[in-house]
Structure 1
Amino acid sequence: MEGQQVDTNTVLGKVVTVLWAFTADDHGLPLAELARRTGLPKATLHRIANDLVAVRLLDRDESGYRLSGQLFELGLRASLERGLLEVAIPFMEDLYERTHETVHLGVPEGTEVVYVSKIGGHRPASIPSRIGGRMPMYCTGIGKALLAFSPPEVLAEVLAGGMPRKTPRTITTPGRLSANLAAVVEHGVAFEYEESAVGLTCVAAPIFDADDRPIAAVSVTGPVTRFRPEKHAGAVQAAAAGIAATHARREAIRNL
């Protein structure tokens, strides 16, 4: 669980450490790899993993252990993400029909973006994002759309953690990032030009709650060879505004 400390002297700490050892790209991990990632003794890890299998939080097959469908069901019960997904999917589908490029919905988690939905179609570009996966805020369109409207302490945390270069075009200096974020605030959309992955460009817009806090962002991403993000900035911004307004209405009705 990157950036967070867990007390592995407790049973709960051990369980959380095992679950967070899996990444969005993992399909199955052998016990030895789980031990390497968690640092837990193999005997302890074997017992914890078998208990998690027994309660259907992990599955086990010939490749090792993997996260179970039960965890997916639990994740779908998360109130914010579930409500956002229900509202956002029609707007995301409209963006896909307009652009025929990959559409993402992401939410902030510390200084990272967690991707909660993705529509890729039949000719998706090779994009490193995965549903449930994470990317740094400073080098992604969704991340910059969120970061530009986040409290100052979030930006301070990003800068304090450093900004490792992902590609030759990654923004790695505080001055350039601050200027980029100022432009996001001015125009209401964020652009990414091959900053997280070579060959990809992106346009994103923040989704605000009723108190004008950025709770998510929506984006369209495509290869630089065919996708011109500036042409679709208005559509992405309109989709974000539509998601925000619909989500706010639903929350207001729910709270009556």
Structure 2
Amino acid sequence: MADRARPPSVAGKVMAILDAFATGAGRPNLSEICRRAGLPLATGHRLVGELVAGGFLERVPDGTYRIGTRLWRIGSQAPAVTGLRELALPHMEDLYEATHDNVQLAVLRDGRALFVERLRGTRSVPVLTQVGAALPLHATGAGKVLLAFAPEPVRERIIEEGLARHSARTITDPDELRRSLERVRRTGHAVTRDEMTLGAASVAVPVHDADGAVAAALSLVARSRSADVRRLLPPLTTAARALSRDVAAHWRGGPSAQRNAGA
């Protein structure tokens, strides 16, 4: 009981502040950071100021905050980012040249879709995704692929935790989502329209590791009105197959490696 009553350590408070940026949902102001971190405003103001001074956070002129370059450099060295991004970028660049739509790469981390790379052109539809953003699995094309091929206990836990509505077309009914995920497993791809962002549609397919497990999801995001699965799916599938071959040959950071290491 004494441990439960013990106030959070300074390190715990700092981690809570940094975790306030984990959703990737815009740039929070100080009040929002403190609310997400569960900290008093005075405490948050002091610690956020120290993180800004150290380069871990940056204060924007409008009073909001974003991840600083020092923290980004540290985070970019994570195995989920480095090796996979290096392997994926040539295939993502080819895919962008073939479609001129947003190209995204995501992995499953902590019950969300963590986007580790993104290519976007000047003519592409605006999207919420940023490198390092963690978005809900049930409302994104890449997320649905990752959720569909996740182990059943993981999938059910995420569904039972609740399905937040992000637009009028977000699937929030658990049984409807289960049927949608079954279609993803059956067809090998996911399609979303206006489920995360109005006006945006996505098509996503799995990327496999050496043991055949789904290591990541590769997706295209286009305007809902012009998104044609028949146009987008062939080059997307071709790129994912090529990337899967490279991942199987050269990358050891996927689900199979994590299981073998006891993660």
TM norm. shorter chain > 0.5 = yes
Partner residue, 1:112: 112
Q: Which moved more, 1:101-110 or 1:126-135?
A: 126-135
Structure 2 vs 1, CA of residues 24 and 155 (structure 1 numbering), >3 Å: closer, same or farther? closer
Give how far 1:27 is off: 4.8
Partner residue, 2:248: 248
Partner residue, 1:145: 145
Give how far 1:26 is off: 4.4
User: Superposition pairs for residues 118-157 of structure 1, below 5 Å?
Assistant: 118-157=118-157
Partners of 1:33 and 1:137 in 2: CA distance: 23
- RMSD value over aligned CA atoms? 2.4
Give how far 1:33 is off: 4.3
Give how far 1:151 is off: 0.1
Report SS of the residue matched to 1:80: coil
Partners of 2:59 and 2:112 in 1: CA distance: 30
Structure 2 vs 1, CA of residues 43 and 163 (structure 1 numbering), >3 Å: closer, same or farther? closer
Structure 2 vs 1, CA of residues 210 and 8 (structure 1 numbering), >3 Å: closer, same or farther? farther
After superposition, give the CA deviation of every residue in 1:151-194 in whole Å (9 maximum; x if it has no partner): 00122112212223333332222332222222222221111122
Report SS of the residue matched to 1:79: coil
The TM-score, its normalising length taken from structure 2, stands at 0.83
Amino acid across the alignment from 2:76: L
Partner residue, 1:9: 8
Contact 2:20 2:36 in 1 (8 A): yes
Q: Which moved more, 1:72-81 or 1:16-25?
A: 16-25
Partner residue, 2:72: 72
Partners of 2:102 and 2:65 in 1: CA distance: 30
After superposition, give the CA deviation of every residue in 1:26-70 in whole Å (9 maximum; x if it has no partner): 45734x443343332344334423432443323456536542101
Partner residue, 1:227: 227
Give how far 1:75 is off: 1.4
User: Superposition pairs for residues 22-41 of structure 1, below 5 Å?
Assistant: 22=21, 24=24, 26-27=26-27, 29-30=29-30, 32-41=31-40
Contact 2:24 2:135 in 1 (8 A): no
Contact 2:114 2:132 in 1 (8 A): yes
Structure 2 vs 1, CA of residues 59 and 166 (structure 1 numbering), >3 Å: closer, same or farther? closer
Report SS of the residue matched to 1:40: coil
Give how far 1:139 is off: 1.9
Q: Which moved more, 1:236-245 or 1:42-51?
A: 42-51
The TM-score, its normalising length taken from structure 1, stands at 0.85
Contact 1:188 1:237 in 2 (8 A): no
Partner residue, 1:3: none
1:91 equivalent in alignment to 2:53: no
5+ residue gaps, structure 1: 1-6
Structure 2 vs 1, CA of residues 99 and 160 (structure 1 numbering), >3 Å: closer, same or farther? same
Report the identity percentage.
Answer: 35
Partner residue, 1:58: 57
1:18 equivalent in alignment to 2:21: no
Aligned residues: 246
Partners of 1:19 and 1:163 in 2: CA distance: 24
Give how far 1:240 is off: 1.5
Partners of 1:249 and 1:191 in 2: CA distance: 28
Contact 1:138 1:144 in 2 (8 A): yes
Partner residue, 2:197: 197
Structure 2 vs 1, CA of residues 80 and 159 (structure 1 numbering), >3 Å: closer, same or farther? closer
Give how far 1:129 is off: 2.0
Partners of 2:224 and 2:7 in 1: CA distance: 45
Partners of 1:219 and 1:225 in 2: CA distance: 17
